[in-house]
Structure 1
Amino acid sequence: MTHEGVTKCEGIGDICLKTSNDTKVLLRRVKHVLDIKLNLLSINKLCDKGYKSYFSGDNWKLTKGSMVVARGKKHSTLYLTQIKVINDVVSTIESDNKTDFVT
């Protein structure tokens, strides 16, 4: 998929992640898109859940309260971070037979 393409969302579910500083984060209603080779986080959605995101030069920091949850470095137009998926599969809570596409 190129940045100009459209692809289908295969399902929506919850997923648990562990950041590089061993913080566990549960993300709810995550969209599973087979064609995307990277895991993308929506800063807007994280901010809606009480997280705060800070950008300074080539650095990024995600906090919740006084705790630093994750850090990242800018590479091209993305900020990359080391996050590990704890559970191997997204527990599907909603099959996506509707027209829910990612652009």
Structure 2
Amino acid sequence: MEGPRLIRHLTRAIIFSVSVNLLYYFLLPILTGLFLTHFYVPDITDAYEEVNYLQNEVAFGVIIRPDFETNILFHLLVGIGIYGLLFTAIRLFKKFKSSKVG
């Protein structure tokens, strides 16, 4: 690949990766929070049983979520890889389609 094409594809891959990460880490929690807030019904009589169930009956007692800051490089590389796979698949599909027609 030539230098400018490589830089263009790398730039697009980074933009794709950042946009997917922004969607996953910012937009998705906001939407799920809005959904949960809309349908939340407070019930003081069963509050203790719910907390007791969450702490003792749910596997490991808590949900462990990865931090955005610690995994930024990993997510960036995965996004670049996904973009590369999509770009290669589209290029191969166009090549296959043009060879079938002609």
TM-score of the two chains, using structure 2 as the length reference: 0.22
TM-score of the two chains, using structure 1 as the length reference: 0.22
Larger Rg: 2
Q: Whose RCO is larger (CA < 8 A, sep 6+)? A: 2
Q: Which has the higher helix share?
A: 2
